[in-house]
Amino acid sequence: MSSDPNSLSLLEGLHSTPARRYLSPDPIPEDVIRAILDAAVRGPSGGNTQRWAWIVVRDPEVKRQIAEWYREGWETSYGSRREQILNSDDPGGMSAATFRAADHLAGHLEEAPVWIFPVLIGAARSSNPRLGSSIYGAVQQLMLAARAYGIGSTLTTLHAGHEDDVRKLLNLPADALTMALIPLGYPARGRWAQPKRRPLDEVVFQERYEDRG
Ligand SMILES: Cc1cc2nc3c(=O)[nH]c(=O)nc-3n(C[C@H](O)[C@H](O)[C@H](O)COP(=O)(O)O)c2cc1C
């Protein structure tokens, strides 16, 4: 089921890892999950302190409960604006395709065979606005390593409205913060297409920022 993880070049992987939200429930081998996590923890953290924990969730009951909380977040943030988002022609807004895919993920989250919660210990009591930089590099490595094995993922956060409930359910320390919920699964639909982004010349500045109004 897994593709050969050594056949994908690093740059090819970087250019072909979009969010994958249509996932099959097929199981992921244990050694593959371990290899993906082993790649993730090679990522950077300030002072290499690695104040992180990586919670692997497969329990259907835990997933069912958290998926309900996630759907609440989805409904509040996006789902309740379904018609408005689908009919909007605002180029800066969420595309209809992204909405449909995210809506599908919200409705089927618990079907992804494995979830990973990257957790930062101490983050719940921190006011450092750059704290996330001590884990999101590793999170991206996780998603790229998954991609090398042909496994799709999406960085999600819509469970966060129930952070305290999730903390209890996962038995996390009081000062820990879940930094994402990453569902993993073999893609059931879609392609490893290059993610669409604003052109470089719009977002890159030489030496200093300038207002391009
Ligand atoms: C901080 C953050 C939070 C996100 N939260 C969610 C989420 O809760 N649900 C979801 O479906 N996607 C979520 N995403 C995924 C983004 O929608 C996705 O990265 C973006 O649309 C680009 O997708 P692409 O790489 O496929 O082009 C999140 C991404 C980031 C960086």
pLDDT in the model for residue 191: 97
The string of pLDDT tens digits covering residues 119-150 is: 999 999 999 999 999 999 999 999 999 999 99
pLDDT in the model for residue 146: 98
| Mean pLDDT calculated for residue range 144-164 | 98
pLDDT > 70: percent of the chain? 99
Report whether residue 17 contacts ligand 1, using a CB cutoff of 6 Å: no
- Distance from Cα 64 to the centre of ligand 1, integer Å: 21
- Distance from Cα 30 to the centre of ligand 1, integer Å: 26
| Mean pLDDT calculated for residue range 189-203 | 96
Nearest CA owner, ligand 1 atom 10: 156
pLDDT in the model for residue 91: 79
| Mean pLDDT calculated for residue range 144-165 | 98
Report whether residue 16 contacts ligand 1, using a CB cutoff of 6 Å: no
Residue 74 in contact with residue 102, Cβ under 8 Å? Answer: yes
- Mean pLDDT in the chain? 96
Residue 119 in contact with residue 128, Cβ under 8 Å? Answer: no
Nearest alpha carbon to residue 36 among 15, 13, 12: 13
Nearest CA owner, ligand 1 atom 6: 156
The string of pLDDT tens digits covering residues 167-183 is: 999 999 999 999 999 99
Atom of ligand 1 nearest to the CA of 159: 8
Nearest alpha carbon to residue 111 among 152, 82, 54, 169: 152
Atom of ligand 1 nearest to the CA of 74: 8
Atom of ligand 1 nearest to the CA of 77: 8
- Checking if the pLDDT of 87 tops 60, the result is yes
Domains of the chain: 10-203 (3.40.109.10)
pLDDT in the model for residue 2: 56
Pull the structure tokens for residue 210: 């300038």
pLDDT in the model for residue 195: 97
In the chain, the largest separation of any two C-alpha atoms, in whole Å, equals: 52
Helix locations, the chain, DSSP H = 10-14, 30-40, 60-77, 82-86, 96-108, 136-148, 163-169, 200-203
The string of pLDDT tens digits covering residues 33-82 is: 999 999 999 999 999 999 999 999 999 999 999 999 999 999 999 999 99
Report whether residue 102 contacts ligand 1, using a CB cutoff of 6 Å: yes
| Mean pLDDT calculated for residue range 11-23 | 98
